[in-house]
Every structure is written in structure tokens, then in C-alpha cells.
Amino acid sequence: MSAPFPSHDDLASLVAIRHDLHAHPELGFEELRTARIVAEFLAACGLEVMSGIGGTGVVGTLRGKSGGPHIALRADMDALAMPETADRPYRSTVDGKMHACGHDGHTAMLLGAARALAKRTDLAGTVHFVFQPAEEGRGGADAMVRDGLFERCRIDRFYGLHNMPGIPVGRLAAVPGAQLASSDRWEVSFRGIGTHGGKPHLGRDPIVAAGQFLASLQTIVSRGTDPVDTAVVSACAVAAGDFDALNVIPDTIRIGGTARAYSHTTRDRLEAEIARVANGIARANGIDADHVFHRLMPPVINDRATTARATEAARAALGGENVITDFPPSTAGDDFASFSTRVPGAYVWLGNGPAEDGALHHNTRYDFNDAAIGPGVRYWTTLVEQELRAA
């Protein structure tokens, strides 16, 4: 009978790290303490360590024999600006900040895998353990890319993992294709000619144009998007006029919202369609429109061949019956996409068990499940063993 992996002591130390990170949450690009703990841990394992990449990012590199592939594994380190309302021994010690997305667990698991793999002498190839800052909408992955991650590290394939409540502990979902939507923001302003509310014919009313625009916006998905694909275009803010001046038609109205898609072509199309509808409606009303589309996050789209490798590793690590191959994509985003649009990637969902008290990601009671640490470490470790298997 072989010894359990990770060992009881290894697991206990990873749980302790996880609880310590949970108690000391740091927001995006502020992960100084977390990054220091990560860098010291990796160095103590004997890995090459690069700190301060993309702000607070850390990369630990394990070099095996030559000839094998160069792969990267991603964990995110940041917490969220929200209070923790659950009472637990390791609850957040920082007011208004908490690990409500389980990135404390992601960090602990990847450290566990790095420690287990650092002892191996039979691997051929290179593994980069990438600890990224600022996943929660602050652009940490992009910051690492801009800071030369791909120039400093040769990376053939990128692997990501996120915990998922609702999937039982010990199970993992690995699915090719779209996993998470693109997440972009847009703004449209209509510039007319303000006038007396009683004399609309003397101006050019931007508010009526905005009404037409908001109605037409709905046709971008219903009429302009392939029905077997899908997308979201939502207007989430409108600003114009003054309730203390209800006899004044204003000069301008500003509208903003979010756009989400699961493919690069649909994402491009949403940008073009929002501009087309805004310009067309402005023209019909004899006014001007300005529009901007800020690309924040591309969709996370799993490469088929890379996902097959992830699936094989998950089957070997967790048992075939514990690997889910059909799991619906999420309309949330993950900037892992900034890595997986550059090289083939596979992003998997690790079971976090039932949603305790109904608490899901970004809930003030959410918590990573310590029982998922073992399966997560086994998945990462097996993936590297299979990828870097010496010929």
C-alpha cells in the first residue's frame, strides 16, 4: 500500500497556509504579504523565484532535464473588497476585505504542488508556477504579460484552475471550449441641442434618441448574434438632465453598460454593433453620438488538445468517475484569458462541495473548502508528471 499523497503533514501545513492567507486578505496589486510568503516558500523548495512581475506577481520555476515541454500553472492571490460575515477561527482580520473567491485555496494548492514536484529528479521540461496578482477585475494577468512574462518564461501551454461550489469535493470539471465570458464595458453619449422643455422643436432632444437606443440595444443579441452562440449586452447606467429643472431638455445623455460573449468573433461583433446602433440612431435624430468600448477581459476558451491533457491528468489523479466533462460555462470572467489567448490553455473547475448556507463566490460567507486542497494538489502534481514524463 502506498502512502497517501499529499501526506498528512503536508496537508496540515497547506491548510495552515490557507488559513493564514484567509485571515490576511489583500486586494489586487496590494498582495505584498501574500507574495512574500509565496516567494519564500518557493525559494525554500529550491525553485528559481522571480518576484515583482506585474506588480506583486511571483513566478517559481522548476527546471527538469532538457527536451520536455514548458508549461505554466496559474494561481491567483487577491481578495475582494467586502466584509466577511461568517465567524470562523481564521476569519479576515482586515475590515472590508475577504477571500470570498477562494484564491487563498488556489495559492495554497499550487504551493503544495510546487513543493511536491521540486523534489523530483525524473522530470523532463520546465514548469512555471505563476502566482498572479489582481484577478478580480484589476488586470493582474495583463500586468504580468506587459511586464514580460512570456519573454522571460518560455511557455507552451497554460493551465488554470478555479474552485467551484456545487461540484462535490474530489471531483473536477474539464471541458473544452468556452468556460467564462469576455467582460467588457461600453459607453455611449448622445450630444443634441438642449432647449426649453416646452419648445422641443427649437433643439435636438438627446433623451428621445437614448430611448430608441436602449430599445434597439436589445436587438444586438436577439437579431445580431448567432442563436446557437450567446451574448449579453446590458445598459447599467443612464445619466442626463436634472430633477430640479424639469422644464429643460439637456444637451447630452450618457449611457453605459457591460458586454459579454463566449467567442472572439461575437465579442468583436458586440463592439461593432453597439457603435453602429448608436451612430444610426444619432443620425436619425440629427444629433451626434460618441462611443467607447473598453476591452477588459477576453473570454476563457479551453483549447481542445490541452483540455484533453488536463482531463487525462484529472482522471489519473482523482479517478475517472470523478471527472466531469460537461459543465456549463459561466457569465463571470477570469483574466486567465490574458494568458490563454496567447498560448493554448485549459481552465478547470475544482469541486468545493455543497454551497454552505447557500454561499457562492463573492458572498460574505463564502469559504474555500480545505478538503479540496488534497484533490487540487493531486491534480496539479499529476498534470506535471504527465506533461514532463521523461521520454
Positions in the binding site for Zn ion (CB under 5 A): 101
DSSP 207-230: HHHHHHHHHHHHHHHHTTS-TTS-
What minimum distance in Å lies between the beta carbon of 44 and Zn ion? 27
**In the complex, least distance from residue 136 CB atom to Zn ion, rounded to whole angstroms:** 5
3-state helix, strand, coil in the chain (%, to 5): 35, 30, 35
356's enclosing H/E stretch is none
Q: Which is nearer to Zn ion, 61 or 363 (CB)?
A: 363
Residue closer to Zn ion (CB basis): 313 or 350: 350
Please say which residue, 101 or 210, places its beta carbon nearer to Zn ion: 101
Q: How far is CA 368 from CA 13, 29, 33, in A?
A: 16, 21, 20
C-alpha cell belonging to residue 231? 451574448
For residue 80, the minimal CB distance to Zn ion (Å) is 7
Q: Which is nearer to Zn ion, 55 or 333 (CB)?
A: 333
Nearest to Zn ion by Cβ — which residue?
Answer: 101
Closer residue to Zn ion in complex, CB, 49/101: 101
**What minimum distance in Å lies between the beta carbon of 106 and Zn ion?**
8
Listed in sequence order, the residues at least 6 apart from 345 whose beta carbon sits closer than 8 Å to its beta carbon are 157, 158, 159, 160, 300, 302, 303, 306, 336, 339
CB 102 to Zn ion: min, Å: 6
Cβ distance to Zn ion smaller for residue 188 or 350: 350
Comparing CB distances to Zn ion, the nearer of 101 and 175 is 101
Cell numbers at 59, concatenated = 513566478
Minimum Å gap between C-beta 104 and Zn ion is 11
Tell me whether strands 288-297 and 195-196 are parallel, antiparallel or unpaired. Answer: unpaired
Closest distance to Zn ion from the beta carbon of 50 (Å):
23
- Tell me phi and psi for residue 110, to 5 degrees: -70, -35
Output the nine-digit C-alpha cell for 205: 432632444
Residue keyed to cell 422643455: 197
DSSP letters of 283-335?
HHHT-EEEEEEEEEE--EEE-HHHHHHHHHHHHHHH-GGGEE-----BSS--T
Shortest distance in whole angstroms from residue 163 CB to Zn ion: 8
What's the burial of 310, exposed, middle or buried (CB within 10 Å: 0-12/13-18/19+)? buried
Q: Is the peptide bond before 6 cis (omega within 30 degrees of 0)?
A: yes
Q: Which is nearer to Zn ion, 205 or 334 (CB)?
A: 334
